[in-house]
Structure 1
């Protein structure tokens, strides 16, 4: 996998907790030499955190409510023109200015070093803004140039936002979406946020400063979760567990929807892998990473959308003279299934009907004689 850094710079600002006064700001006037191994190691390390097992991401896009500040429009101008060293540096100044301004309004914010980088990972372009702490495995010289990078983890990277540039440009040219009530909105996210904790508690000021809105709509998040189970457990070694995994996740989501609670990614992963028992421990971390990846985009926490869940867990048919709906988990291809589908005859048999339904059907048949 190729990894190439085009531009990088590190700025800083400091602020004491529980105050609104910035103690100092350092904005560099030249970019860092991206040929230095330590620079590549730092950018690569931070990027790696956004896909590392156990680190939960949230997804989003730039806001459009006229309160998003200057960063989104400046980023668009930077990408629309051919990026240069000078335009990258100017955009990085906008980022640190906005971060410092928003941090001043956040009582618990303390500031730090702000890494800004443009790079490609396996041919895909990204733009990164991250707040890093100089400690342990991250060492900078007096001019904020990385000199030793031995380990990059969440104790050293407090917040990060990564823009998928190609995805941003693709979304930019999409026509405005008008979503029917029974349809699931398109996924138009291109930002990934890394924060702290199981629920990805990305600092509000960090998200606000970059003009972002965090979150995937509940209908899209619910559908993504259902799709992720189907795809992940479609792997040859996991396929024997797919039906049980899907049913377990459906039951979990139904429970959350009924109580009005958010579904939690880590809980969802535990439910899906529960049927595996002995091998659960070896698969659950891999599944969590897949759920939260760019491929599946299941948020750290999300509200369950009732309509989407219902469509995803039930089969509905409407014919000219009749219609029916049943839960997918009831379907089988044997006579003792609750809903038996005869593949050869292309017919459905409903077993174990309740007494009320049986009586109503018998009474109706009597009228036909």
Structure 2
């Protein structure tokens, strides 16, 4: 993962209400194993986050200036360091306007992964840790916390440059806090949501369930394809890449690689050709589970409507072809 540019500034914003103090870096961070490890850890935490938003830039304006400055970096009109300094000043101003209580170290890293250029922007906090010295004494030290990430965004620069019609080249963390704390960082990036990742993912899973019924797939075949779908979507999520319907269709049937994609398009499900899968929706999809009053039920999602029927009015399940072991237990109990 070659890092082309990396800069870190510090916004000292204390919770006592005093004005934020911005400490600007005077130069870029030199390439080293330390910055490589830092960016790798930040990316790892970022990729593991659920509930990220996906979108694209607002038109560059006084309210959303970042994309305009970044565009000048892309054509070498301004230096990356100057871009980050201007960006950090703008971020500090937004923090002050909203009277937010916490600042942090602001990392700007432009790097290449595979054939794609990315820009990661993240606010990192420090944590106190205990270090052991060579003489076996211990002391408290402060370190960057990469395991906790609340405000970060990643911009696919190659997608932005080469596919102007794209609506998902910016991804950003959607914190669970109040709307004010959530919105300010997204406004700093200048991003608007362009893809409903949970909705797209739910629609894809619905299309897959319909496909299983239409093709009358055997249970073991449906289970295998379900596993392949989720595994592919999760693998794409780990590298922050979208699902491609054509790639997914190939996994569904190598002998007829276009069948699943053509089924989706013919069904007019309205799914984008490429979209980012929502991790939380995928995790909930694999199985239906429930436990209450001495009863525990769990079954794979693709069995619903086939071996498992749900009656919403009576809140009951009808299960066909019970496992042999369970049938034997019930027979023994009835005979006793």
| TM-score exceeds 0.5 | yes
Partner of 1:169: 161
Give, in whole Å, the separation in 2 of the partners of 1:162 and 1:60. 11
Give, in whole Å, the separation in 2 of the partners of 1:61 and 1:78. 18
Alpha-carbon deviation of 1:70?
2.2
What are the equivalent positions in structure 2 for 1:145-224 lying under 5 Å apart?
152-154=146-148, 157-172=149-164, 174=165, 188-197=167-176, 203-213=182-192, 215-216=193-194, 222-224=199-201
Give, in whole Å, the separation in 1 of the partners of 2:42 and 2:7. 14
Query: For each residue in 1:230-261, what CA deviation from the matched residue of structure 2 results, as whole angstroms up to 9, or x when unmatched?
Result: 5799996734768xx9xxxxxxxxxxxxxxxx
Give, in whole Å, the separation in 2 of the partners of 1:4 and 1:198. 34
Pair 1:78 & 2:73 matched: yes
Partner of 2:23: 26
Pair 1:38 & 2:34 matched: yes
Unaligned ranges ≥5, structure 2: 132-140, 213-219, 231-277, 290-296, 307-336
Q: Is the 8 A contact 1:61 1:212 kept in 2?
A: yes
Q: Is the 8 A contact 2:125 2:145 kept in 1?
A: no
* Secondary structure, counterpart of 1:102 in structure 2: helix
Give, in whole Å, the separation in 1 of the partners of 2:150 and 2:200. 30
CA RMSD of aligned residues (A): 4.2
Give, in whole Å, the separation in 2 of the partners of 1:71 and 1:77. 10
* Secondary structure, counterpart of 2:126 in structure 1: coil
* Secondary structure, counterpart of 1:50 in structure 2: helix
Unaligned ranges ≥5, structure 1: 140-146, 175-186, 246-264, 284-328, 332-369
Q: Is the 8 A contact 1:128 1:161 kept in 2?
A: yes
Q: Is the 8 A contact 1:99 1:210 kept in 2?
A: no
Give, in whole Å, the separation in 2 of the partners of 1:58 and 1:64. 18
Give, in whole Å, the separation in 1 of the partners of 2:115 and 2:15. 40
Give, in whole Å, the separation in 2 of the partners of 1:132 and 1:107. 18
Partner of 1:274: 287
Query: For each residue in 1:62-95, what CA deviation from the matched residue of structure 2 results, as whole angstroms up to 9, or x when unmatched?
Result: 112845332111101111338xxx7110111122
Q: Is the 8 A contact 1:13 1:23 kept in 2?
A: yes
* Secondary structure, counterpart of 2:163 in structure 1: helix
Pair 1:120 & 2:112 matched: yes
Query: For each residue in 1:256-277, what CA deviation from the matched residue of structure 2 results, as whole angstroms up to 9, or x when unmatched?
Result: xxxxxxxxx6774465223486
Q: Is the 8 A contact 1:131 1:160 kept in 2?
A: yes
Give, in whole Å, the separation in 2 of the partners of 1:69 and 1:30. 25
Q: Is the 8 A contact 2:151 2:175 kept in 1?
A: yes
Query: For each residue in 1:35-55, what CA deviation from the matched residue of structure 2 results, as whole angstroms up to 9, or x when unmatched?
Result: x11110111111122212x54
Partner of 1:295: none
Alpha-carbon deviation of 1:123?
3.2
